[in-house]
Structure 1
Amino acid sequence: MRLDHPDARKLNDRVQLEYTERYGDPDLTEMDPAQFDPPAGLYLIAYDPDGTPLATGGWRAQDHSPEGYRDGDAELKRMYVVPEARGRGLARRLLTVLEESAREAGRARMVLETGTKQPEAIALYTSCGYLPTAKFGYYRCEPNSRCFAKPLIVPAGVPDGSPAAGLRHTAGAGPAASERR
């Protein structure tokens, strides 16, 4: 699917309403649907058996920029599960597939930005191994913004769970083991 698919637009409208309820305004991040096209990104929609769209998520390649990204970053965007489908593990499953896709595309680190008014998102990301990182992106100067990162490529000789994992990319080492905005 693409970010401009009708089901994606429908779910995006719902998440924008939720952002407005929680923060007072919708997400102002500009996103071109082509940014999520493979191999430089991926956008997914999860459906229930009757074809109702339940969840979305995507990643787009980001590299060094004045906004604070690093070369090799994959930025997680539009993670959203409709309220009536929450608690089923959809976000966690989408996140796993997105991380695997970004890793296979050679991205070294998954980064995301969320907000303090989304404690359930922060809990999901931290439980999946994401750690706080320096702020980046459109909301990097906002006090309610929180940025997280998780290494996707672990250098040779560094255990997967080590704090040093993903801090550098060793040449030749292959891929290893709701975001507010």
Structure 2
Amino acid sequence: MNPELDLRDVYAASAGRLVARLYGMTGDYAEAQDAVQEAFARALTRPAGLRGMDNPEAWLYRVAMNIARSRHRRRMLFDRIARSGRLRGSDTAPPLSPDHVALVAALQRLPRATRETVVLHHIADLPVAAVATILGCSVESVKTRLVRGRRALAEHLRETEKEDTRA
């Protein structure tokens, strides 16, 4: 990376893509935005280290994913407590289209590695080689995950469609 490059330039170039990737992974746009913002906040604490990286966007993605995973774990714990009756849960998310809900639900049923690969390639529109670099795996692994992911998504969406026609 260019040592003259400012974190503001990195933000302008990659924040939108990072939010899109995280949104595909989490299914929650606000959570995706928060995780990306937190990743950039952490980058502010080490701007020289970020400038020295070959691919700062990949580092930011990994940090944002780790943040999203940690928040998910905390949310699951909170939900368990809320279901126990000790707290009341609240649903503050706006209503989503049935197609959107079905796609996000189908994505969530995929194994994590496959879901990350599908989101990066199909939602973030990254080439296979870039996905391999970000995920730290081979191009062949990415291609295999994509084939498996597309098959699984198609099956999950068919199941959802069948359930909808029965109801």
After TM superposition, the score normalised by the length of structure 1 is 0.26
Relative contact order higher in (CA < 8 Å, ≥ 6 apart): 2
Q: Could you say which structure has the higher strand fraction?
A: 1
Q: Could you say which structure has the higher helix fraction?
A: 2
After TM superposition, the score normalised by the length of structure 2 is 0.27
